[in-house]
Amino acid sequence: MRQYALFTTVLLVGGSWDNDKAETRELVGEFEVGGVLVEQSCGDAMDASERIASDFALSVDVDATGRAYMDSSGSAFVGTVVDGEYEFQVSQNWTVVQASTGNEECYVTQHDVFYVLIEAPDDGTARTVSGYQMTEFEAIAGSDCLPAVSGGVFRALPCRVEYIVSGDEIL
């Protein structure tokens, strides 16, 4: 009997940063975004609603290192910022199919990217954000992932779930 690992992806998979350096951060703002699903080629491997919503806070290092921080739903992420463009990436490996008689294990890499551009209108109103949130799954070289695709949890490998996101600063 094939065993499939069950997993769910929220906005991103939680990471962490060195909280001892919190005093070197400057709050950029708090934002509220909504997203619309534009691609879902993974099938049942990832629950993908037609719409998503999230609130998050962005901060940056005051020493201009290009490091950015995002706090969303109690999880913290480290990323980069260049000219108002923020990007956060996380990758991890999963065992999707356990080895059993007649098949090898299937391992996939899950790669999550959250990208937003912050723009400030000339009239001084709340800043806006636009961007995307994407999750990709790819079989790791040497894995036997045919059972995960043929009647399994994935529609195809590699596959992608992507949202276009937009929103406003919370004032």
Domain containing 73: what range? 19-169
Tell whether 10 is covered by a domain: no
Q: pLDDT by residue (tens digit) across 2-16?
A: 232 322 233 333 344
The whole-number pLDDT of residue 61 equals 82
Q: Give the gyration radius of the chain's Cα atoms.
A: 18
Helices (H) and strands (E) in the chain, counts: 1, 8
Tell whether 119 is covered by a domain: yes
Long-range contacts of 90-96 (CB under 8 A, 24+ apart): 90/12, 90/13, 90/15, 92/13, 93/140, 94/5, 94/7, 95/5, 96/4, 96/5, 96/45, 96/145, 96/148, 96/152, 96/153, 96/154
Residue of 1 and 99 predicted with greater confidence: 99
Tell whether 8 is covered by a domain: no
Residue of 14 and 49 predicted with greater confidence: 49
The whole-number pLDDT of residue 21 equals 53
Q: pLDDT by residue (tens digit) across 18-39?
A: 444 556 888 999 999 999 999 9
Count of domains in the chain?
Answer: 1
Tell whether 11 is covered by a domain: no
Tell whether 5 is covered by a domain: no
The whole-number pLDDT of residue 7 equals 28
**62-75: b or e for each residue (b if 16 or more CB lie within 10 Å)?**
eeeeebbbbbbeee
Q: pLDDT by residue (tens digit) across 80-99?
A: 999 889 999 999 999 988 87
Q: pLDDT by residue (tens digit) across 101-150?
A: 666 789 999 999 999 999 988 888 889 999 999 999 999 998 989 888 98
CA distance 94 to 106: 8
pLDDT surpasses 50 at 158: yes
The whole-number pLDDT of residue 99 equals 75
Predicted TM-score of the model (pTM): 0.80
Task: Please list, in sequence order, all residues whose beta carbon lies within 8 angstroms of the beta carbon of residue 135, skipping any fewer than 6 positions away.
Answer: 9, 42, 46, 110, 111, 112, 113, 160, 161, 162
The whole-number pLDDT of residue 74 equals 83
Residue of 156 and 2 predicted with greater confidence: 156
